[in-house]
Structure 1
């Protein structure tokens, strides 16, 4: 079972463009300072890295990757015990979030739909997606195939 889908965070793209324009204005109205430029460039690169979230499932792993790949994670399929479609609260935010109650890690770029996976070690992760039912079904099929292999 192979699955691949990329979700685009249009609000983050818009915010990145606003920040680039703001930084361009600041740089054009002040003297050029290399350290200030380096900090601005770093901020823009971090923002751009959260514009997309790619979810992939292959024979062994569920993988997620933000943007051009600075932030990524993989989950062994044989460690996933369940997957279900959920709705995130608005205050969970976007990006990578550690939430303490309920204790989980959230990966999201846009919207409120997600698939929650529980691992054998008890950890809970939520992966944001704009096609939650398809992702849930793909994960369930992939972990069933892993169980059948044993």
Structure 2
């Protein structure tokens, strides 16, 4: 669980509630339709932020599955396509979330911390998956791909 992400989500939610309160103080007019649009954007932003509070990584007989929060963002890897998996420590500037890093070229899936398992696929694509239990994750992947 990412406590910084929980804090950020709560702060954004509080700012949105303040904005709602301020807009509701304004008298109703012909342009009130914008209030619905602002509310919709606020709700979508909070839901998107909330989806990055937890990450769940599972290994079964065919796939490694990565799921953020309630499953809005997910990825799966075929075990038969994984060439190697190893524990790595990412530098702080690699950041968190889901994003592509240009050098070295890789996809990063992480919510907090610096520990990750680096997966190299047979097509040479590289992925880093953050976890609090990197040793267990690496062991499960290594068992499944050999």
SS at match of 1:15: helix
What secondary structure sits across from 2:108 in the alignment? Answer: strand
- Give the match for residue 119 of structure 1: 121
- Of 62, 83, 91, the match for 2:85: 83
Task: Give the superposition deviation at 1:30.
Answer: 1.9
How many residue pairs match? The answer is: 137
Query: Partner of 2:137 in structure 1?
Result: 135
Q: TM-score, normalization: structure 1? A: 0.89
Q: Which runs of 4+ in 1 moved over 3 A?
A: none
* 5+ residue gaps, structure 2: 25-31
Please point out which of 72, 75, 78 is paired with 2:74: 72
Q: Distance in 2 between matches of 1:14 and 1:105?
A: 25
Distance 1:142 1:110 in 2: 26
Larger radius of gyration between Structure 1 and Structure 2:
2
* Structure with more of its chain in strand, by fraction: 1
* Structure 1 gap segments, 5+ residues each: 1-7, 145-150
Q: Deviations over 1:92-131 (max 9, x none)?
A: 1110010010000000011010000000000000000011
Superposition pairs of residues 1-150 of structure 1, within 5 angstroms: 8-31=1-24, 33-144=35-146
Shift of 1:134: 1.0
Q: Secondary structure at the match of 1:30?
A: helix
Q: Which has the higher contact order (CA 8 A, sep 6+)?
A: 1
Cα distance in 1 for residues equivalent to 2:11 and 2:37: 21
Give the match's secondary structure for 2:116: strand
RMSD of aligned alpha carbons: 0.9
